[in-house]
Amino acid sequence: MKILSHLPAVHQLKEHQRFSQIVTTLQISENILTEWLNEQIDIVRNKIINNELDHEALNREELIKHIFNQLDKKIHSFSQDNLQGVINATGVILHTNLGRARLSKQAIDQITTTAASYSTLEYNMETGKRGSRHDIVEEYIKQLTGAEAAMVVNNNAAAVYIVLKAIASGGEVIVSRGELVEIGGSFRISEIMEESQADLVDVGTTNKTHISDYEKAITEDTALLMKVHKSNFKIVGFTKEVDTDELVHMSRQHNIPIYEDLGSGTLFNFKKEKIGAEPTVQEKIKAGIDILSFSGDKLLGGPQAGVIVGKKRFVDKLKKHQLARVLRVDKFTLAGLEATLKSYLRGQERYDIPTIHDILASSHSVLEKANTFVEKITSNGTGFICDIDSGQSKVGGGTMPNVEMDTYVVNVKHHLYKSEELAERLRKFNVPIIARVKNEAVILDFRTVSKEELAIVVEAFLHIEHGES
Ligand SMILES: *Cc1c(COP(=O)(O)O)cnc(C)c1O
């Protein structure tokens, strides 16, 4: 334990020339640096106590060197942002771990402007008096969906919560057992129901629910009929699900409101493009659903949000509820959403909105990018071995789970690096590149890589080839 006496005190380290070097070259406050030094001293002290340090590191000079080296690492990781932009070369369009939808140029511009200046968030330009943030996108959503009213909350989970709380708290909510889904490992219909103090009445079985099952469950305490999009799974085989039309009919007969959690929700009719069978929000409204909610950053291709549409008398009730303030969206969300919705109103969604654009992209356009990439990284006799294969891209984000889009993937190997190592080097490039690894190759699907990003991906591979990464 004599070694512990070699451990420098923080004030001694602060007099060291390496400390003054750091202070003068980097813009990190001295307080923070002192705290980090203290942290490192503690770590080294524990290492000494637990016999975890090499013997040669046990004199004073070596300990000081060790502490400063650790401090350098800390400073290096501080220089990278924790939330940073990456290139998604997985081909999964709504990659939940990579932030789901990326936004249109128009949305980015409007967010940037809103961030840099004061805005009309709650200001009525006509009267010069206080306005409502609800008014910013409501008309657009009404026009696009045909609904009487609309409002926006933080995300679709929040939408489910406020609807249940405001409309069904203290009453019973009838849901098919086959629709009691869990989304993203943390959001369960049954649990959000409990939070909202509505009583869940589950009817039918996992694979089959009939209209009579709903009918039998109706009591005078029934506050709401609820239908939930199965989103991330599909039951095959002997199944029976009651469709929206039948449920709407029954809800009218019994004068009980009906709410559908549409999950992703789409304004774009993918069925017309022969992609999946996702119903549009417009179709659901036409069918007479009273309240409908869906995500802003799934198939809509906008910022994280929960969009609620439906009959005015219900939406008004939601707007007046205390939770509306708790779950409200900020100006950036509204800016991004307004621009996204305008692309739909102009009929430009397939060009403007990356999510729609990438889902519709032909396998041929992906192949073109793949060819360009392979040519550029192999043309001067590099160590990369590439082959292009046909494959399937997925929409992701728990959306259209059974839809696969034809694509082309590039399998890349390097004679010096194992595939895991290559993938790691790509992740550590100054613009991190995320790719899949399978069968000893790194797999790139350029469906989710823009032309500008493709140039960066090429640069990263050449960087790795030259051993610079
Ligand atoms: C994705 C999803 C949600 C949650 O939506 P977020 O916008 O992620 O909060 C809720 N319900 C269903 C059916 C979903 O698919």
Q: How far is the CA of 92 from the centre of ligand 1 (A)?
A: 18
Predicted TM-score (pTM) of the model is: 0.93
Element at 78 (helix H, strand E): helix 60-79
> Which of 227, 261, 264, 293 maximizes ligand 1 atoms within 8 Å of its Cβ, making it the mutation to test the pocket?
261
pLDDT over 70, % of the chain: 99
Q: Does the pLDDT of residue 241 top 90, yes or no? A: no
Q: Does ligand 1 come within 6 angstroms of the Cβ of 261?
A: yes
Protein residue whose Cα sits closest to atom 6 of ligand 1: 156
Answer whether 156 contacts ligand 1 (Cβ < 6 A): yes
Q: What is the pLDDT of residue 185?
A: 72
Supply the DSSP string of 211-259, one letter for each residue: HHHHHHH--TTEEEEEEE--TT----SS-B---HHHHHHHHHHHT--EE
CA distance 160 to 177: 17
| Distance in Å, CA 96 to ligand 1 centroid | 11
452-461 pLDDT tens trace: 999 999 999 9
Is the pLDDT assigned to residue 233 strictly greater than 80? no
Which ligand 1 atom is nearest residue 189's CA?
11
**Closest atom, ligand 1, to C-alpha of 295:** 7
The residue among 188, 136, 168, 181 whose CA lies nearest residue 307 is: 136
Across the range 246-263, mean pLDDT stands at 96
Q: How confident is the model at residue 34 (pLDDT cuts 50, 70, 90)?
A: very high
- Residue 459 pLDDT: 97
Residue 381 has pLDDT above 90, yes or no: no
Q: Give the tokens for residue 122.
A: 């709650």
pLDDT exceeds 80 at position 59: yes
- When pLDDT is cut at 50, 70 and 90, the band that residue 173 belongs to is very high
Specify the pLDDT at position 242.
86
The answer, yes or no, to whether any atom of ligand 1 lies below 6 A from the CB of 265, is no
- Determine the Cα–Cα distance for residues 178 and 187; give it in Å rounded to an integer: 16
pLDDT in tens, 101-118: 999 999 999 999 999 999
Q: How confident is the model at residue 1, as a pLDDT? A: 61
Q: Over the stretch 206-232, which tens digit does the pLDDT of each residue have?
A: 888 999 999 999 999 999 999 999 877
Q: What is the pLDDT of residues 284-301, one digit of tens each?
A: 999 999 999 999 999 999
Helix axis angle, 363-378 relative to 451-465, nearest 10°? 30
